[in-house]
Amino acid sequence: MKTTRIGIIGDYNPEYPLHLATDDSIRHAAQALGQPIEFEWLATDLPHDYCGYRGLWCSPGSPYRSLEGALEGIRYARENGVPFLGTCGGFQHAVLEFSRNVMGVADAAHAEYDPQATTAVVHRLTC
């Protein structure tokens, strides 16, 4: 059986419970499906080749070390038809990427990164 590779866009912190839950959820899904799944955390401040992944998951845990790095991975998934999941901050960043690159809102911002933004499409949220 072929192993499915999933890339997790985010800055892994083993002390952050949601990151541990992300890992556990993938292991649980693999077991329930009887499907080998390999996953790798992809730090937002490093370049990545996303083409080897069957799916990308933008994790909870923002702000990321690199907003642009997170948006690059999300954009790759959208433009290349790679299955994508964004949870918590990951979904917020997907909204930001879509606003900028599909809707043409060049100054679309996330208030977590820019509290004074004039075009905040995502406001600071408390998770």
Nearest-angstrom CA–CA distance, 80 and 102: 14
Structure tokens at 104: 């043409």
Tell me if the domain spanning 4-89 has CATH number 3.40.50.11410: yes
Decide: pTM greater than 0.85.
yes
Tell me the pLDDT tens digit for each residue of 8-52: 999 999 999 999 999 999 999 999 999 999 999 999 999 999 999
Q: Compute the distance between CA of residue 50 and CA of residue 18 in angstroms, rounded to an integer.
A: 23
Which residues are bridge partners to 38 per DSSP? 5
Instruction: Return the pLDDT at 126.
Output: 67
| 69-110 tens-digit pLDDT | 999 999 999 999 999 999 988 999 999 999 999 999 999 999
